Chains A and B, each alone.
Chain A
Amino acid sequence: MTATANTSSAPSPTKRRGPFGFNLLTAVILGVAGYWIAYALGGLIHGASIDSFDDTGQNDVQILLGYTGGVIGFLAGLGFLNYPIRRMLGYPPNFPAHEHTEPGLGKYFRLSTDHKVISMQYLIGIGIFFFIGGLNAMLIRTELLSPTTHVFGANQYLTIVGMHGSLMMGMMTSGVLGPFANWLVPLMIGSRRMAFPRIEALTFWLLMAAGVVLITTIFFGGFQTGWTGYEPLSDQGTAGYDAYIGFFALVSISMCLLGLNLAVTIVTMRAPGMTWSRLPIFVWSVLATCMLMVLAAPMLTATLLMGAMDRTMNSGFFVPGMGGSAFLWENLFWVFGHPEVYVLAIPGFGIVLELMPVFCRKPLWGYRLAVAGMMGVALFSFFVWQHHLFVSGMDADLRPFYMLSTEIISLPTGFTFLCVMGTLWRGRIRLTVPMLFCLAWVFNFLFGGISGVFVSDVPSDVTTHGSFFVMAHFHYTIMGGLVFSFFAAIYYWGPKMTGYKFSERLGKIHFWTMFIAFNSTFAPLFAVGFMGMPRRVITYPLSLKGLNDWVSISAFCLGLSLLFFLFIGVKALVFDREPTEDNPWHSKSYEWQLPTPIPANDFDAIPTFSGDPYPYGEVPATASPGAGPATAGVV
């Protein structure tokens, strides 16, 4: 991190690499090989005690070991073991020089330690799984078109429901942090790279391995437990549930490492002058999210390990007949699970608060309040988990406490709203596509939050718990909150990340169709839940058919709208390829003062920061594209 670390940006001679070597192809081959080798080994240690627990002919030891071997083979094929093995054998380390300056798309299919390459890998990789999850949602709504005519079998249907939930809750935890925090944090804090670049790459490839592991559940009969995996139902599950365990175990490791990496980067690698009070608000939201990831994700890893032991070693942690307790799973899962939903929500707060000043042309209103809000949400989210268990039969004494703590969490969330409202007040609001998505976030998250009051209130929760009301509530907060802010971020930073312009006109069509279809899909579900339809059912009363059909058709429109976004992206990046100017939004943030596309080593010298992160309105507007950094000098 000193000035001597600079390298000239002259293109170094690059050699074209062939298909063999450490890349995705090798990784897949070694991954499959690793699976079968470990599977065979698992067969050797198949004990008699496991037989007694198993009447399906499937051996969980083999399958879980197979997944482990497959993931190790996959990572070895990508080259993750090269560095440690070389070092252990006493060779000097070999860093691939200028891997990111390599032309072509090859670098995206290899282990890369450049934060910009990893961000793009994340964006595409998570995008693929987001669309698979979305496809699952379309299948769910297809099935629910009729209460009596079934497209899927009951087991297939529950597998689709479980895959939809797991993919969205598992993969999308890194939905903002993966693509955007990895890309933005080093630029925003002036550090040029992450603290642990190889771990950064590892988080991405672990997540991809996790997604593939989950999808293999369809070869093993699927799983019937939904994404919550409640015991002891999951103990009845066939080997398809092993895929669930493998998936969330990998996701939790990836989450923990991602959080650790980003937090260490933010704490230790800020450039001179980047004091805590000058940190862009998005970086604060990342830091708050990282706290949750680092503290909550290991809980899930441990819980899944116990679940895996129940299935392979008859340990009986969660099996009532063996001295275990189903409540143990419910508590451990939600101790992770509630912070996890804020892992999904807080980056959305950060994006909206980061974009508001740019499009209101005003400083962020109440910077300290916004920081306190996000940190407060992060802190309180550890003390609310039993609101998922109000009617579970757990000792009732703590219900008033959890009702209070859950409602208190709306205070720091309210700070975010106040800061957004304060920034809008008397601004010069420009209704660009990213701004529209931010305003939609305000609308959606408002209804998500208000419906949350109903679910947090125990008497009201007696009706709404486990019904479609809850489902509508968390889709308003996660889909309406996270996904809308995710699109705001794509339209806002996308040109900088890719170097190409996105059509403003098509973006507006995408926004309005998505906003209307989203609300038309999920608002009626509040009513459906209020009218007594439980979640995850394959059939429902005939009287609810009208509402369900309306919801299904809206959901298909929502799906089409998301496909339309895919079209916009492909059109912009593959066909039009119209280069964007350096700073199309006239933003005063540091990342926009850099040239487009960002040079390979980000900036030639580590910048020095002075002044506020949002200096709007303080000096006469002189934002000129291509001008030198407005807020940064050079050491």
Chain B
Amino acid sequence: MQADQTNHFRRFALIWAVATAILTPIVIFVFGPGLPPGNGTVESAGQVSDNTVLLALSTPVALGVLIFVGYCVWAFREPNPDGPVLDGPPITGNSSVQMWWLIVTTTLVLFLATFGSVRLLQDGAGGGQGPNPLSTPAGKALQVQVIAQQWEFTYRYPGYGGIETPHLVIPANTLVEFHVTSLDVVHSFWAYQLGVKADANPGLDNIAYVTTKSPMTFEVHCAELCGVWHGYMFDSGRVVSKASFATWIKGAEKTYGPAVKYLPPYSKTYFPSPVGRGG
């Protein structure tokens, strides 16, 4: 009996070890580079490597449970289901197995939480951090205000006369500081390829950082249900070279500059009036 048990466990462990040895490298080197949201910015590349680590750690765990259950169903299946009902051995527990399980899972969880916290505290990982950011990347940042309203995003550049543009253009290789706010309900500014997501709340300045790399285009979606046309609240933006940005912003200042005097003065938040019904 005892010898048979060891045998089963050894077979399970062997299958698991082989499967893990094959699949984990595949996950890391084949799936890993394809994981979202791409390597367009420092933050999104950080998220890709974060996702890769999580997936690489999940693989052995998932394989362990699946192979164990599959092995049990295959090896311990009642050989004669229509015959008399026979009972298995009365094993009610095994304290050393329980202890090892607890040690292994606790180690994994503590590692994951530490790893995630360290990654998060480096630069905020592109997430909205509220008005008092916990982690601010070093360097001089280009400030861009993202104003959400039903159902569009507009962008103000306080460093360039507070002009407000309908599309987002930011320079490459630059630290950008997004100030996300809303004029009506809760929205969420999700620049997918930038790896940025920050809720837009009325009366609140939600700050998120991103460090761009090379020029590219990116999608902007609203990621928080904000009313009837939520599904249509998307846009695309561009990361352009520093030189093109200088040209573009000069043109934008000329185009949108005259409108600034009709806008409310630039502010971290715009306090909305009580909302009306029927939106």
Contacts and interface: CB of A to CB of B under 8 A. Distances in A.
Interface of A: 53-56, 154-155, 157-158, 224-226, 228, 230-233, 235-238, 316, 319-322, 326-327, 330, 360-369, 390-397, 399-400, 403-404, 407-408, 410-411, 414-415, 417-418, 420-422, 424-431, 439, 442-443, 446-447, 450, 453-454, 456-463, 465-467, 530-532, 534-541, 586, 612, 616-618, 621, 623
Contacts of B105: 410-411, 414
A363 to B, nearest CB: 5
A463 B195 contact: yes
11 contacts: A56-B277, A320-B272, A391-B188, A391-B199, A421-B65, A424-B72, A425-B91, A428-B86, A459-B120, A463-B47, A612-B92
A29 B133 CA distance: 58
Contacts of B72: 421, 424-425, 427, 429
B199 A393 contact: yes
B264 interface: no
A577 B226 CA distance: 51
B47 A366 contact: no
A623 B85 contact: yes
Contact of A230 (B54, B225, B232): B225
A410 B104 CA distance: 12
Choose among B58, B93, B192 the residue with the greatest number of A CB atoms under 10 Å from its CB.
B93
A361 B88 contact: yes
A465 B223 contact: yes
Contacts of A393: 128-131, 180, 198-199, 201, 204-206
A403 B113 contact: yes
B202 A616 contact: no
Nearest to B34: A530
Contacts of A368: 93
B40 interface: no
Interface string B55-89: 00010011001101100110011100100111111
B197 interface: yes
Nearest to B129: A396
Contacts of A360: 76, 88
Contacts of B208: 391
Interface stretch (B94-102, B157-165, B166-174, B244-252): B94-102
A403 B273 CA distance: 35
Contact of B91 (A228, A362, A462): A362
A363 B93 CA distance: 9
B199 to A, nearest CB: 4
Nearest to A234: B185
Given A154-B231, A395-B130, A421 B278 contact: no
Given A326-B201, A393-B198, 5 more contacts: A446-B62, A453-B112, A459-B120, A463-B37, A617-B88
Nearest to A424: B72
B35 interface: yes
A61 B250 CA distance: 54
Nearest to A539: B231
> Which residue, of B133, B188, B208, B222, has the highest number of chain A Cβ atoms within 10 A?
B188
Contacts of A392: 128, 199, 201, 206
Contact of B275 (A155, A319, A429): A319
A396 B87 contact: no
Contacts of B180: 393
Given A362-B88, A424-B69, A466-B223, A322 B36 contact: no
